[in-house]
Amino acid sequence: MLQRASLASWRSSFQISREPLKKVGEEEKEAEEKFDEFKKETDESTEKKEEEKSDKETGIKEASAAITEAKDANVAAEGLHEAALDELSKLKEMCVEGESYEERAKKREEEIAALKEALKILQEYND
């Protein structure tokens, strides 16, 4: 009978202790579902952020290439500008800062007279 009493006691304590195990199992299952949901959301978020990162890196590369191209174009434009300024300076010396109109007109008249004299000499030579 002692064995029966201890068996009954053991059985009742086993049934009592099964209740917390069942509750723990349910909590564990719920925690696992929450974890799976969290993991899924995290993976999706990470994937989205990796795509954004890749897009932004591509944008940076394109912007860097555009900046380099613009710098090269600027250097070329500065060279052309400098050449144009040099040419303008030469033309300014010849046209504006050189001789006055009266001096140029006098030289032109002298050249015309010299050419007339040369023409006269050539005509006399041919006759």
Q: What are the boundaries of each domain within the chain?
A: 2-68, 101-127
- pLDDT over threshold 60, residue 14: no
Least reliable range by pLDDT among 3-7, 22-26, 41-45, 80-84: 3-7
| DSSP characters over 14-32 | HHHHHHHHHHHHHHHHHHH
| Distance, CA of 38 to CA of 46 (rounded, Å) | 12
Structure tokens at 2: 């002692």
Structure tokens at 89: 């300076």
Structure tokens at 29: 């299952």
pLDDT in tens, 48-94: 999 999 999 999 999 999 999 999 999 999 999 999 999 998 888 77
Confirm if 119 and 127 have CB atoms less than 8 A apart.
Answer: no
Total count of residues recorded for the chain? 127
pLDDT at 6: 61
Alpha helical stretches, state H, the chain: 2-95, 101-126
pLDDT in tens, 92-123: 877 766 677 888 899 999 999 999 999 999 99
For the whole model, what pTM was predicted? 0.46
- The DSSP call for residue 98 is S
| Distance, CA of 90 to CA of 49 (rounded, Å) | 61
Confirm if 72 and 79 have CB atoms less than 8 A apart.
Answer: no
